[in-house]
Structure 1
């Protein structure tokens, strides 16, 4: 028996305060769930077995394999991207005439403006030209690049990372988001140049690459030679003003080599060489190495150019280029000088008539009046003659008004239409030059020659059959093989303008012939049969041309036949000789719608052409302009 000295010994704890509440014991701390069933697996390991240990060799081997696979993946991905660390590439892809901006991780295989994003999220754009493409590119590619550049530039500035600025239309606007090709390569946006190109093992050898350059491409965009001259002169003076080295590329010149007509190519000062092909771009103008051609005229010499430079400044640019580059081959230049001096001497002899006048009086009363008449596919600006041509008598009346009725003036006529030299309203006028003469087919038939042949030995006179003036389609068709002429007539050819109608044909008596229905139907069946036979013949010709190989894929505009090239060279030399002769005249009469008329004003100079009024336009009240854009 245990005794306690306490009056109130300790009692066990209870739940609650009433008597019915239970006392707290150890059982309340134990879980109330039943004991696990003996049939279930035990949580504890069985007696005598050890838990499995981790295999360190397998872990190391798995890590090594995983690292190897990751390394191979990165090597393949970097190889495809040619060491470029780009987050995004954006460019324009064309579907017919529709362009769509797309995003990709690979460079396109065609020339196009390219928007890029660096690792920090900043957006830029540049021009991507694959390094395997030859120079120069087709004219359509250069025009596409310039037409797409503005759209890609707007796409870049529209990114949310920077506000959209206001685009200005100034000619020398600097786009901060554009990076040049060299900088794009340095920043790994574009692939670097191959070492073989960078070393440049050509004849230029040790020459350094030009810091800035402008290359004018003589291409087949325009068949006329006048627009090419104006483009070259403007480009040369613009390059001099902007501190660029100037080059001329005549790879695809329809008239042959530049040196065929002029003494030498302009050389940069100080001497330097052109950069690789991918660095020479047509747009934007702020690019270090610019390419200009007739295809890019609307962007290089378009509205922004005319807004930045005044008419006098543009004229001076063209005149500076003329003085620097218009140097004809020696025999042609000597011929022009000798002929002009002989014509002036003859005019002075006629003006003296045995009298002993002073030299000053002879200079006033005698001289040369040059008249240029453009026909062909170039129509006047004047509304009254916009669908026709200005009458030759209007040229002659203007010339007579300038010099009066004095018989001591010589009138020189140059025209692309050989019939103008025999026109009754131009009586007394002489050919501006007779070294290379364009003769009408009627004249050649009278002389016993076939139309279209060139006669005369090397360096002698030649006669070229030409009728109606200069038409670009006729020019491109000079010297073409007969099978290609059939091909061009077959596809997309309109009906001849002078083809007689099936009904209402006039007979010898002038009365209208009535064709019966059965005759018309019979003729219709014959025409259908003839058309089917012609189609079959053309298909056979086409097949033979394809088997020939060379004819099927040859571009005869830029790679003409030998005969076609000879004819084109004669046309070009005749055109330049006409210009050289008319520019030595005291007065010039022409229509400003023709490029030759604009060139003659440039050759005379601003003072003679406009201040002394030696240049006279018969095509309405239109002012002189450098080119149409």
Structure 2
């Protein structure tokens, strides 16, 4: 009886133990009546294939982080797909509703919120529905172009009005969410002058036949002392006009450098008629007819960032940099469009430039011809070490000779290197032309000469030698009348020195013709330097802080081709930007 109980206990315990694992070794079958050792049998339970393995810590299934991440990504894809489907199915309906609301806003009668000013200004208009818009009011008897300060004030007012109108709770300024951040989209708070006249808000204009649908007028102003900056702004404005399908007009009525045609061939005249002056507004840049000048340029946008004005710096007092410069590639493309269309020298200067280019290329004897542009005067380098001084000429020469060696690698026979120097400091030209300097700074086979010999900026010594000045003394008088001394261009170009040519005590006085001719001589020398360096050279070396250097960068196609090199270490060597920042 005792053995049977042990057997029963052994069977029971083995059955219970068999549920713990099915990976135990195979045991022989149990014969009835056989007494089993309970302790030994329990250590090796029999297999039970029909039961699942035990759940242990090692075999317990766990939800990993990657699985959760995959689920989240899939959910996002599904959500975006549903949004795209919703937009495709119902977008047309919402666009129709948005157009209907905008059309209602346009047909509703707007009235000025106050008295329309008698001076050019930005004004607010309202309609019975409580919708407010702003527009530019310019009296019909106003002259064109207006002073730069007036254009700047109107743009400043428009920025403030637009900001206030967008805060209005009843303002209809909704835009499609996918166009909310587009800078080229029309301003929903702006009412064009043409539409305001049709509504009777502004006085009507006389009918003009063949009126341009859209236009851009660039104004060369009386305060534009930097010829290079004027060219950059002009070329970029032309590129924007062509990109946006606008007719392009140029106004040089009050330009500090005289007439545009004194230097270049006139631009192509559009086939349509110029709009009335009171239709040409400085802002917004999406208006039907806009005017661009140095004062309004900071409010332009190249389609990359919102436009905002940057104040002039102490280092560059005559340079105002727009913050909305946009990508360098797109700016370069626009500038190249303007350069190709507008940089065509006029008159005898064009003939001289062609002959000078041919002479330099002949003198180089098949070797490399590298241009050097050295800016002095009021412009100091961006590099901290020379921020209160100027870069040494030896740095320009070293960079030019390195460019020569790279250019001559393609042909071992080309061993010569010709350097053409253009600078605003005539004393530097004299120094660079000296035999001692040529022997010390130049490598064998390298020659240095002026970019052009037609027009030179004079030094005081040269003026004293050609036209000496002596005090005037009346016969029998002990007093001598003071005569101002000759003043040269030593040290480079300074805006104050430039504006002193033909200066008058009367504000906004017309520059006398002899003084304007002298200014034009300085400008022609500058343009000839640009033509020779930009159209004859295999490469150009300069400092990017100078507007002339950036102009040459446009003419050479930027820094990508290796034909333009910046030596100002305050900026990355290979980087070209149209605004120098």
Q: 1:169 to 1:112 in 2, by over 3 A?
A: farther
The equivalent of 2:267 in structure 1 is 265
Matches of 2:142 and 2:491 in 1, distance apart?
41
- Seen in structure 2, the aligned counterparts of structure 1 residues 294 and 450 have a Cα distance that, compared at 3 Å, is farther
Match of 1:573 among 507, 524, 532: 524
Contact 2:112 2:201 in 1 (8 A): no
TM-score normalised over the length of structure 1? 0.62
| Greater Rg by CA | 1
* Matched position secondary structure for 2:150: helix
Structure 2 counterparts to residues 218-617 of structure 1, below 5 A: 218-268=220-270, 271-301=271-301, 303-304=305-306, 309-348=326-365, 362=366, 366-404=367-405, 408-424=416-432, 427=438, 428-447=447-466, 465-480=488-503, 484=505, 552=506, 554-556=507-509, 559-583=510-534, 584-606=536-558, 609-611=559-561, 613-617=562-566
- The number of equivalent residue pairs is 417
Change (3 A) 1:132 1:385: same
Structure 1 residue 411: Cα displacement: 1.1
C-alpha RMSD of matched pairs (Å): 2.7
Alignment partners' CA distance in 1, 2:545 and 2:198: 48
What per-residue deviation string (whole Å, max 9, x for no partner) do you get for residues 66-115 of structure 1? Answer: xxxxxxxxxxxxxxxxxx986552xxxxxxxxxxxxxx2x2101111111
Match of 2:201 among 161, 184, 189: 189
State the SS of the aligned residue for 1:231: helix
Any conservation in 2 of the 1:117–1:124 contact (CA below 8 Å)? yes
Q: 2: distance between equivalents of 1:117 and 1:601?
A: 49
Contact kept in structure 2, 1:170 and 1:308, CA below 8 Å: no
* Residue 480 of structure 1, CA deviation: 2.9
Q: Provide Cα deviations, 1:233-271, integer angstroms capped at 9, x if missing partner.
A: 111111111010000001111111111111223222xx1
**Match of residue 184 from structure 2:** 172
Report the secondary structure of 2:204's partner residue: coil
Unaligned runs of 5+ in 1: 1-83, 90-103, 201-206, 349-361, 452-462, 485-551
**Aligned equivalents of 1:263, 1:464: Cα separation in 2:** 32
CA distance in 1, matches of 2:502, 2:130: 57
Distance 1:392 1:169, change over 3 A: farther
For the 8 Å contact 2:173–2:189, the answer to whether it is kept is no
**Aligned twin of 1:112:** 121
Structure 2 residue matching 1:439: 3-state secondary structure: coil
- Determine the C-alpha separation between the residues in 2 that align with 1:447 and 1:307: 49
- Residue 304 of structure 1 aligns to a residue whose secondary structure is coil
8 Å Cα contact 2:544-2:580 kept in structure 1: no
**How big is each residue's C-alpha offset from its partner over 1:552-607, in whole Å with a ceiling of 9 and x where there is no partner?**
4x514xx211222011101111110000011111121100000111111111124x
Which structure 2 residue ranges, 5 or more long, are not aligned?
1-107, 308-322, 409-413, 439-446, 471-485
Tell me the residue number matched to 2:444.
none
Q: Secondary structure at the match of 2:142?
A: coil
Deviation at 1:333, TM superposition (A): 1.4
1:316-359: per-residue Cα shift (whole Å, max 9, x none)?
Answer: 110111011101003111111111111221221xxxxxxxxxxx
1: distance between equivalents of 2:345 and 2:325?
32
TM-score (norm 2): 0.67
